[in-house]
């Protein structure tokens, strides 16, 4: 190509290699999951919410350090807040470090906040965080409107999961045997 010649953007070589392609394809890089929430609650509806974070919180999340075990979401004054999510202090941080268990604002649309507020007022319903992840370089939280499970529901779910696992094992063994014969 000669200097000054116009080349359409589509035919220009991409810069950044595979690393930049991974970041731009919209994949989720999961940081923390709340597996106990899926066990203790029947998930009714899920939402993706942005998080308002400080710089040291983002750096700590990028290191993959967070816990949602005790976390819950509360609607307060037409705003959604994530409480008790543990994001530990950034190890290289200074006096500007954040508090590990501070409440963090969730970014949702007004209709979603109103819908969650009405539903969470109903008996037995709560809003729980399911996961923290990065999507397109931005920290997101997956939250769910949930209803608490009774003890027998939890046992039934575990039984179904175990039955599914046993049938999958039996099918895999039959396929292996069939290939060998």
Domain boundaries, the chain: 29-149, 150-180
Q: For residue range 101-159, list pLDDT tens digits in order.
A: 778 888 989 999 898 888 888 877 888 999 889 888 888 889 998 888 777 777 888 88
- What's the CATH architecture for 29-149? Beta Barrel (2.40)
Nearest CA to 128 among 35, 61, 10, 25? 35
Contacts for 9 with CB less than 8 Å, ≥ 6 apart: none
Backbone angles phi, psi at 123, to 5 degrees: -65, 130
Average pLDDT, integer, range 63-85: 85
* Whole-structure pTM value: 0.65
- 152-163 b/e (C-beta count within 10 Å ≥ 16 → b): eeeeeeeeeeee
What residues pair up with 145 in beta bridges, in sequence order?
A: 45, 127
User: CB 73: neighbour CB atoms within 10 A?
Assistant: 26
Res. 42 pLDDT band, cuts 50 70 90: confident
Mean pLDDT over the full length of the chain = 79
């Amino acid at each position: 190509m000669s200097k000054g010649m116009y080349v359409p953007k589509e035919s220009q070589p991409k810069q950044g290699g595979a690393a930049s392609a991974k970041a731009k394809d919209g994949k989720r890089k999961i940081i923390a999951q709340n597996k106990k929430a899926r066990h203790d609650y029947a998930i009714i509806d899920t939402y993706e919410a942005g998080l308002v974070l400080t710089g040291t919180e983002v750096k700590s999340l990028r290191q993959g350090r967070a816990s949602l075990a005790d976390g819950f979401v509360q609607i307060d004054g037409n705003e959604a807040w994530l409480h008790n999510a543990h994001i530990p202090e950034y190890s290289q941080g200074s006096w500007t470090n954040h508090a590990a268990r501070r409440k963090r604002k969730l970014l949702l649309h007004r209709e979603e906040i109103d819908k969650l507020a009405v539903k969470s007022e109903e008996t037995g319903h709560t809003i729980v965080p399911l996961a923290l992840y990065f999507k397109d370089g931005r920290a997101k939280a997956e939250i769910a409107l949930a209803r608490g499970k009774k003890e027998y529901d939890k046992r039934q779910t575990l039984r179904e999961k175990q039955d599914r696992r046993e049938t999958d094992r039996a099918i895999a063994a039959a396929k292996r045997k069939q290939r060998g014969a």
